[in-house]
Amino acid sequence: MNARVRDLAGKKFGRLTVKRYKGTDKARNAMWECQCDCGIKRTLRGGSLTTLNTHSCGCHRVYVSKSKASKQVECVETGEVFSSAREASRKLGLGVHRVGYAARRQTKLAGCHWRYV
C-alpha cells in the first residue's frame, strides 16, 4: 500500500465496514472494499467514505423511501390508524405532505401526534 493512503481498513462508516485496500483507480484515488450491514459488498473510493458521507450500499436509502410510500399512519393519541398518509390527509382536509412530514418527524398536527406504523 502507498504510504500516502490513509488506512481505513477495519473502520466503520454508518452501515459500511471497510474490509481491505483494493489499490487505486485511474485517477489514483484509493479504493476500498466495503461491506454493508445488509451483506452487499461494494468497492468505494476512500474519499466517498470520508468526505462524501457514503454510509450504506444504497439499501438504506431504498428502504427509507419504500417504507414512506407503503406505511400506515397512526394518530398516537387516539390510536386511529389510516392506511396511508394520503387517506389521513383526506379525512383531515390537510395536504398529504403535511401529514407525511408530521408522521416522519412525529410532530403534532390537527391535535394528534403522527407516526408511521
By the criterion CB under 5 A, which residues form the site for Zn ion? 36, 38, 40, 56-57, 59
Q: Output the smallest distance, CB 59 to Zn ion, in A.
A: 3
Residue with smaller CB distance to Zn ion, 8 or 57? 57
Sheet hosting strand 30-36, strand order edge to edge = 12-13, 16-24, 30-36, 41-45
Q: Output the smallest distance, CB 36 to Zn ion, in A.
A: 3
Q: Output the smallest distance, CB 12 to Zn ion, in A.
A: 13
Instruction: State how far the Cα of 43 lies from the Cα of 25, in Å rounded to an integer.
Output: 11
Residue with smaller CB distance to Zn ion, 32 or 82? 32
Instruction: State how far the Cα of 1 lies from the Cα of 85, in Å rounded to an integer.
Output: 52
